[in-house]
C-alpha cells in the first residue's frame, strides 16, 4: 500500500525533527520566564536566546519581536493595537486580517493577483485620517508575492502605518524586515516546520502598541500571559532551518511545481492556473477544474491518499468558494472549482505522479438520469 502524500504545506508544515528536539529540551526547563530565581532566569535565557535567533532570521532588532499564540493573534494585535481610526486591507488578505475590523476598507487587486497600488494611493489621499494599511507578502492560496516595499512607501507618504502578514513568506522567499519597510510584520511557526500555537509580531520601535491581553507585563507590556517557552524555542529552531535552506529549497520546489503545472496543462487543457503571470512562491499552485467542485476534488484526492486544500484551511473544515479568486475577477463557479497544491520540505517527484494519477481522470458529473 502506498504511503499518503501530503501537499498542503501552506496550511501547516510537518515539524522539522530538529525543531521538535529543541522543544523537547525546552520542556525540561522548569522555571517561569518571569520568575527571578535561578529556574526563572534559566527559562528567561532560553526565551531571549530564541528571540534573538528569530530576530536574526528576519533581519530585525531584538526588542522588536513580540511573541503571540499565532499569526491570528499577531494580526489582531497589529490592526487593533495601533489605535488607528482607519484600516485598509487588501482584498486578498487572510480571514484573520479581513475579519478583524468590520469597517475595514478593501483595497482592490488586479486580475494578476497583485494589489492595485494606484488604488491604494487614491484611497489614502481621499481621507487623511490616521490609517493602517495591511498587505500580505505572499498570498496563501495563489502564492502571488505582493509589492510590500512599494506599498509601505505609499503608506508612509500619507502618514499611514503598513502591516504585513508574512506568514507564508518566511522560509520561502528572502525576508528582511528592514528592506521590506513595513512597520509591523506577522509571523507563524507552523507554516515553516515549527509547532502550532506560536507566532510573533515584529514591531518597529516608533510604533506604539496597546496590548489586546491585559493582566501582566510580559513581552515588554505588549502581550500579557506566560510565554509558551517550548513553542518559542521550536519556532526559533524552525526559522533558522527554513531560512538557511530557503535558496536551494525554493529552486527544488519550483522545479517540482513547474513539472506539476506542465502536466496539468498537458493532460487537462480545460484547467485554469491562477497567478502564473505574477511572481509567486515556488511551492504553490492554485488550479481550477471547471465544472468539478473543489470539495469533490479534495475528497477524491484524499481517498487516493493525496492531501490538498480548497482555499485557506482556517474555516473549521469548510470548503467554500475562494474570496481571493473572486477578488481577482474569477467567476464564482470557476472559483468554486479551485484547489491549492502546496509543497514543502518532504515533497518529492513521486508526489506529483500520485497527484496526477488521482486528479487527471476527474470528470464532470453526468447529466444522465
**3-state SS track over the chain:** CCCCEECECCCCCCCCHHHHHHHHHHCCCCCCCCCCCHHHHHHHHHHHHHHHHHHHHHCCCHHHEEEECCHHHHHHHHHHHCCCCEEEEECCCCHHHHCCCCCCEEECECCCCCECHHHHHHHHHHCCCCEEEECCCECCCCCEECCHHHHHHHHHHCCCEEEEECCCCECCECCCHHHHCCCEEEEECCCCCCCCCCEEEEECCCCCCCCCCCCCCHHHHCCCCCCCHHHHHHHHHHHHHHHHHHHHHHHHHHHHHHHHHHHHHHHCCCCEECCCCCCECCCEEEEECCCCCHHHHHHHHHHCCEECECCCCCCCCCCCCCHHHHHCCCCHHHHCCEEEEECCCCCCHHHHHHHHHHHCCCCCCCCCC
In this prediction, residue 365 carries a pLDDT of 75
pLDDT confidence of residue 289: 96
Q: What is the mean pLDDT of residues 207-232?
A: 95
Tell me what pLDDT residue 368 has. 46
Cα dist from 151 to 76, 122, 124, 147, 156, whole Å: 20, 12, 11, 6, 9
Express as a percent the part of the chain with pLDDT over 70.
96
Domains of the chain in start order, with CATH, are 5-13+247-356 (3.90.1150.10), 17-241 (3.40.640.10)
Which tens digit of pLDDT belongs to each residue from 287-320?
999 999 999 999 999 999 999 999 644 444 555 6
Task: Find out whether 191 and 10 touch, Cβ atoms under 8 Å.
Answer: yes
**Model confidence pLDDT, tens digit, residues 113-137:** 999 999 999 999 999 899 999 999 9
| The pLDDT of residue 366 is above 80 | no
Q: In the annotation, is 314 catalytic?
A: yes
Assess contact for 134 and 87: CB atoms under 8 A: yes
> Which of 111-115, 351-355, 362-366 has the least mean pLDDT?
362-366
pLDDT of residue 194: 98
The pLDDT mean for the chain works out to 95
Integer Cα distance of 131 and 24 in angstroms: 43
Q: Give residue 317's pLDDT.
A: 54
What pLDDT score does 130 carry?
Answer: 95
Q: What would the pLDDT profile of 329-338 be if each residue is shown by its tens digit?
A: 999 999 999 9
Which of the residues 20, 106, 149, 314 is marked catalytic? 314
Look up the pTM and report it: 0.95
Task: Give the whole-number percent of the chain exceeding pLDDT 90.
Answer: 91
Contact between residue 240 and residue 100 where contact means Cβ atoms under 8 Å apart: no
Work out whether strand 199-203 and strand 184-188 pair parallel, antiparallel, or are unpaired.
antiparallel
Amino acid at each position: 500500500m502506498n504511503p499518503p502524500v501530503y501537499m498542503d504545506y501552506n496550511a501547516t508544515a510537518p515539524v522539522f525533527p530538529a525543531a521538535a528536539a529543541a522543544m523537547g529540551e525546552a520542556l525540561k526547563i522548569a522555571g517561569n520566564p518571569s520568575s527571578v530565581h535561578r529556574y526563572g532566569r534559566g527559562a528567561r535565557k532560553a526565551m531571549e536566546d530564541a528571540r534573538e535567533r528569530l530576530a536574526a532570521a528576519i533581519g530585525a532588532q531584538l526588542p522588536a519581536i513580540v511573541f503571540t499564540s499565532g499569526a491570528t493573534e499577531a494580526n489582531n494585535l497589529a490592526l487593533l493595537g495601533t489605535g488607528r481610526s482607519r484600516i485598509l486591507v487588501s482584498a486578498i488578505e487572510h480571514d484573520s486580517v479581513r475579519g478583524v475590523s468590520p469597517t475595514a476598507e478593501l483595497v482592490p487587486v488586479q486580475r494578476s493577483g497583485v494589489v492595485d497600488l494606484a488604488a491604494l494611493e487614491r484611497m489614502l489621499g481621499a481621507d487623511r485620517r490616521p490609517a493602517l494599511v495591511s498587505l500580505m507578502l505572499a498570498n496563501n492560496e495563489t502564492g502571488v508575492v505582493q509589492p510590500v516595499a512599494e506599498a509601505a512607501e505609499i503608506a508612509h507618504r500619507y502618514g499611514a502605518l503598513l502591516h504585513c502578514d508574512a506568514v507564508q513568506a518566511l522560509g520561502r522567499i528572502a525576508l528582511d524586515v528592514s528592506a521590506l519597510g513595513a512597520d509591523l510584520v506577522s509571523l507563524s511557526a507552523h507554516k515553516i516546520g515549527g509547532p502550532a500555537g506560536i507566532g510573533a509580531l515584529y514591531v518597529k520601535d516608533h510604533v506604539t502598541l496597546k496590548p489586546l491581553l491585559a493582566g501582566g507585563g510580559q513581552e515588554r507590556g505588549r502581550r500579557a500571559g506566560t510565554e509558551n517557552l517550548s513553542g518559542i524555542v521550536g519556532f526559533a529552531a524552525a526559522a533558522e532551518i527554513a531560512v538557511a535552506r530557503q535558496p536551494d529549497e525554493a529552486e527544488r520546489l519550483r522545479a517540482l511545481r513547474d513539472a506539476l503545472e506542465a502536466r496539468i496543462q498537458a493532460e487537462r487543457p480545460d484547467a485554469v492556473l491562477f497567478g502564473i503571470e505574477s511572481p509567486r512562491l515556488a511551492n504553490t499552485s492554485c488550479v481550477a477544474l471547471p465544472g468539478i467542485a473543489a470539495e469533490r476534488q479534495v475528497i477524491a484526492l484524499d481517498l487516493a491518499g493525496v492531501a490538498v486544500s480548497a482555499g485557506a484551511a482556517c474555516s473549521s473544515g469548510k470548503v467554500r468558494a475562494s474570496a481571493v479568486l473572486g477578488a481577482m475577477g474569477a467567476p464564482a463557479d470557476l472559483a468554486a472549482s479551485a484547489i491549492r497544491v502546496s509543497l514543502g520540505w518532504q515533497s518529492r517527484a513521486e508526489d506529483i505522479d500520485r497527484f496526477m494519477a488521482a486528479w487527471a481522470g476527474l470528470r464532470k458529473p453526468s447529466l444522465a438520469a
